Chains A and B, each alone.
Chain A
Amino acid sequence: MSKHLGDKLIDYAWGMLAPQEQASLDVHLRECADCRQELAEHQSLVGKVSATIPAMLPTAPVSVRAGWAQVAARVPHLNAHAARRHGLPGFIAVGLAMSTAVVILIMTITQAWLVTPPLTMTALAATNSATPIASATYTPEHPTAVATPVVYLYAPPRQAPEPAPVTTSRP
């Protein structure tokens, strides 16, 4: 191996020399076969590397190009931008969501009220009738003694009832 130019030959092969420096090496190379031989070896390696790298790097797969949607979803200002362009303005969206929540709440309360009447009504029904609430029956003589034919899931515990006057009798 030539010791004349040392690492300068590597620099030469990689194109790292300034023009003046390269020119001075050229002068030496014209007269030194050893250095020419060594330079050829370096250049051969650089040639292999320069051909290998672009050839071995793969082209981007389709999934990379298709990855834009995932990138956009992770960029905050693009997310906001997409919402402005493709969705409702923020305050309308929030208002709409709140209105929906209120409507659902009202519907739930109403449904619960229909199935289970307020406690006061249940208590009233219990104190006005000695018979079990669910068993009150319609009689032609006392048409007003009609109890709502609803089985209440909850009724307050009854106090020991006073002997109630008999208000209905069969003929």
Chain B
Amino acid sequence: MDESDLIQHCLDGDAHACADLYQRWCASVYRLAYGILRQEQDAEEVTQDVFVYALSRLKNYDRRKSAFRTWLYTITISRSRNKMRRKWLPTIELNEWSENEVGEAERPPEDMAELQVERERVWAALGRLSPKLREAVILRYFENLTFQEIGQILNCPMKTIQSRVRLAHKELAKLLVINNH
């Protein structure tokens, strides 16, 4: 069943279609929420909130205005921001984060170690960005969204998104240079 049919079935009150829609998108929503919140439990709660909201207000979705995933990711970003505001997530220092998240037992094989360490450094630096800059960068590469799509999701002009990405780039460059020394 293609997506527009599935959505129509959901609008008609078909519970199975709603379940299918959830199964189709829950993993992406979870990953995006995790990218913003960086905590599994929070990302899971936000995923559920997103679908409760989306399925309750599915009639508000207008396929002429945006793709379904754009609409869904808009809700995801909004819910993630709310979650962050409520929790006042503390900024975790790079060293702390590395110690917390990567146990010795989880170390990859030797040939992957260097790459993994590099990714952890970049990931930690991404975590130090302000939420708005981080959102723009995460959205760009978590599913290769275009800047136009990111603009729709964040409800900003494309130029604003590009400006945020540029600022994020400069900030990341600084953070990674500092971490190298």
Contacts and interface: CB of A to CB of B under 8 A. Distances in A.
Interface of A: 7, 10-11, 13-14, 16, 41-42, 45-46, 48-61, 63-65, 67-68, 70-72, 74-78, 81-82, 85
Interface residues of B, number: 41
Contact of B173 (A45, A57, A63): A45
Nearest to A75: B55
A53 B15 CA distance: 34
B153 interface: no
A158 to B, nearest CB: 70
A85 B40 contact: no
Contacts of A42: 169
22 contacts: A7-B166, A11-B162, A16-B165, A45-B169, A49-B122, A49-B172, A52-B118, A53-B138, A55-B119, A57-B34, A57-B142, A58-B40, A60-B31, A63-B44, A64-B30, A67-B26, A68-B23, A71-B22, A75-B51, A75-B52, A76-B56, A85-B15
Contact of A45 (B15, B44, B172): B172
Contacts of B27: 59-60, 64-65
Contacts, number: 112
B23 to A, nearest CB: 6
